[in-house]
A and B are shown apart, each in its own frame.
Chain A
Amino acid sequence: MLTFTIRRLILAIPTLIFIALVIFLLLDLAPGDPLANQPLSIPPEVREQMRKALGMDGPIYVRFGAWLYQFFIVEPQVLIDHIFGTSFSEGKLRILSWQFRSPVMDVIVQRIPQTLWVVGMAYVVGVLIAIPIGIISAYRQYSIFDQIGTFISMIGFSVPTFFTGVLMIVIFSVNLGWLPSIYDTQLEVTDWATFTQQVKQMIMPVAVLALFNASQISRYMRASMLDNLTQDYVRTARAKGMTEKVVVLKHVLRNSLIPVVTVIALGVPTIFGGAIITEQVFKVNGLGQLLISAINNNDLPMVQTLTFIFAVLIVLFNLIADVLYGILDPRIRYE
């Protein structure tokens, strides 16, 4: 198991470097000029110096190498300095955002809490809803509950989040006036009033994302439970005289959760991607919104770094899913 994990980790490095290269080459084709919004009165030689200051001169492999060095060497050093108060990164150039004129990582770190709160909460809520629904729908297959459950999960799966979000805003903010339609990121939770305000503004984005996640996961849960309910060991357990509760919730559930856990792990990075749209609908000031504004403003270092972070998440959670599968299912052997 350990050797498998280590081998996969080592294999992930060339994959990630290749992905970084693909993103870099793609962005290098970008027609936009980050200096386009500077005044036209700037003389050409000053303009050339500004380009140099942004690190836009030099051949492509130099710039790519510089980016790799900054991302993998300088930024971790900054993090270590920040935690332990050392000074490894002193005087070294960090990845600078063209849009904010400050290090990309600092902006990203500012935005991460919003995304994690909304998206993470939505994922947890979604999983918590999906698993019981999946269990009951499978156990009472073709019952009313199952019919309604599969119908709702089909809807949640089909209706895009930008429509459910807008629909909820129309109903709960415009017509009923219960919930705010815009997520206020300036809000600091200090007392009960601000806490309720925070909860109120989180309800809609979390509900939209949670519905989407829950509908996907509950389908897997139902299918996996159905697969296991007809197995021989279930009949054996019943024949031994175990109560139905033990049979379903202990024997069947544990076995059915194996594929579902890996699906949950695989879904984590796509949630970051899918949240781009939800963040845009509710104006949540998170990573997705940052990416969109960076794309619109030709902030290439920001786009490069953010996209690469998403890629790292995908590769990492693929690996986690594989390892989890090996740990949970004794029939799987990675040799």
Chain B
Amino acid sequence: MNDTTARTAAPNQNQNQNQNQNQWWDVWDQFKTHKGAVIGGAFLILITLFVIIGPYVWQVDPGDLDVRNKDNRPIYTALWNPDAKVSWAHPLGSDQLGRDNLANLIHGGQVSLAVGWTAMALSLVLGTFIGVLAGYYRWLDGPLMRFTDLVLALPLLPLLLVMMLLFREALRSAFGPETGIFILIVVVIGITSWMHTARIVRGDVLALKEREFVLAARSIGTPSRRMITRHILPNVLSPIMVSATLGLANAIITESALSFLGLGFPSDFPTWGKLLFDGVERMADFPERVMWPGLCISLTVLSVNYIGDGLRDALDPRIRGR
């Protein structure tokens, strides 16, 4: 890596392709020094692999009813309780219908992470779109920002619950029970969490508009459309990335909260929040049924938040290089 060009490129935002590459190396260097962020990133990759490769390794159907092996305890309980009902067929035990907990955890993770990523992407697209429009076009700034303030003043969790209730049947009949609810949850989370991204992006766009390179680009006659895609968007990428991590954490928590309140996916469709909710009733006898899904949610969100912290430090040119 060429150190001197990277140093000069960092404060100088309008780089060409080659220097751009160096800037991202610089960011990566700074990111690596944040221990929590690196561990968080490793854990996120691990859990993603767990839910993607998991079904191929552990080929048990999560809905499979193993009637003879109901209410099994996890295999490790045998260590301190020799009488516990355990079996190698169910390493993390089975529930009251004989469904395998490990398979449920893997498939539930797929849904939870998929909801998290899609909802985050939707809220980012919405937030960036509104933020860029409000920051770039002065006549749109007032109305769009008033609208954002208005949405921020809405009590979001109650409205989320109400929306889940209202559109559940319509979407279920249109797309089938699982896809319908998936679309509903993603859209509902997406349209209730774009406001912070929009505000941050707007602020950054307003500041960028005053910069010389924007003036230069305008003076050679760049149309607004290309101005936004070529000059503005690449420069607001760092705040967008930071709010992406916050959005991912928020989406995962919201989905599990909805499932936990019984307004999420249908009962035979596992997600981490749903598994936790189902486990609560019998947690006195089977604490593992709430522990494992809960741990998965918490550790994923924790690692995503740490990545966000690391990214914020790495993308801040004032801190970088220290």
Q: A158 on the interface (CB 8 Å rule)?
A: yes
Q: Which of B36, B170, B290 meets A166, CB within 8 Å?
A: B290
Contact residues of B between 265 and 288, Cβ < 8 Å to A: 276, 280, 283-284, 287
**The stretch of A85-93, A120-128, A311-319 that contacts the partner chain:** A311-319
Decide if A158 touches B305 in the complex (CB within 8 Å): yes
Mark each residue of chain B from 271 to 312: 1 if its CB lies under 8 Å from any CB of chain A, else 0: 000001000100110010011001001100110111001000
A155 at the binding interface (Cβ < 8 Å): yes
Given contacts A15-B150, A19-B150, A160-B301, contact A26 B283 (CB under 8 A): no
In the bound complex, do residue A277 and residue B261 qualify as a contact, i.e. CB atoms below 8 Å apart?
A: yes
Let me know if A295 and B161 touch, CB within 8 A. yes
Give chain A's interface secondary structure class.
helix
B166 proximal to A (CB < 8 A):
yes
Chain B residues within 8 Å of A315, by CB: 153
Range for the number of chain B residues in contact with chain A:
35 or more
Contact A307 B162, beta carbon cutoff 8 Å: yes
Given A30-B165, A158-B305, A170-B291 contact (CB < 8 Å): yes
| Distance of A167 Cα from B165 Cα, bound (Å) | 28
Question: Are A18 and B290 in contact (CB-based, < 8 A)?
Answer: no
A29-B166, A154-B302, A160-B257 as given contacts; A166 in contact with B280, CB under 8 Å: yes
> In whole Å, how far is B319's beta carbon from the nearest beta carbon of chain A?
13
A162 within 8 A of B: yes
Q: Secondary structure at chain B's binding surface: helix, strand, loop or mixed?
A: helix
Which residues of the other chain, B, contact A276 by a CB distance below 8 angstroms? 157-158, 261
In the assembly, what is the distance between CA of A32 and CA of B166, in Å? 8
Verify if B155 is at the interface (C-beta below 8 Å from A).
yes
Interface code B53-81, partner A: CB below 8 Å = 1, 0 otherwise? 00000000000000000000000000000
Q: A27-B162, A160-B256 are in contact. Are A273 and B291 (CB under 8 A)?
A: no
**If A15-B153, A154-B302, A174-B284 touch, does A160 touch B161 (CB 8 Å cutoff)?**
no
In the bound assembly, the distance between CA atoms of A30 and B166 in angstroms comes to 5
Q: Distance in Å from the Cβ of B64 to the closest Cβ of chain A?
A: 26
> B301 contacts A158, CB within 8 Å?
yes
Residues of A within 8 A of B36 (CB): 154
Measured CA separation A169–B281 after assembly (Å): 12
Known: A15-B150, A315-B153. A163 touches B158 (CB 8 A): no
B166 touching A159 by the CB < 8 A rule?
A: no
**B316 at interface by CB-CB < 8 Å:** no
A180 within 8 A of B: no
B196 to chain A, nearest CB (A): 13
In the bound complex, do residue B158 and residue A303 qualify as a contact, i.e. CB atoms below 8 Å apart? yes
13 contacts between A and B (CB under 8 A): A22-B154, A26-B159, A154-B36, A160-B257, A166-B280, A166-B283, A170-B287, A170-B291, A281-B280, A303-B162, A306-B158, A307-B159, A315-B153
Interface residues of B (CB under 8 A from A): 36, 150, 152-159, 161-163, 165-166, 169-170, 249, 253, 256-257, 260-261, 263, 276, 280, 283-284, 287, 290-291, 294, 297-298, 301-302, 304-306, 309
- Given A30-B162, A295-B162, A295-B263: 19 more A-B contacts, CB < 8 Å: A18-B150, A19-B154, A26-B163, A26-B166, A29-B166, A31-B170, A155-B302, A160-B301, A174-B283, A174-B287, A277-B257, A277-B260, A291-B158, A295-B161, A306-B158, A307-B155, A307-B162, A310-B158, A311-B154
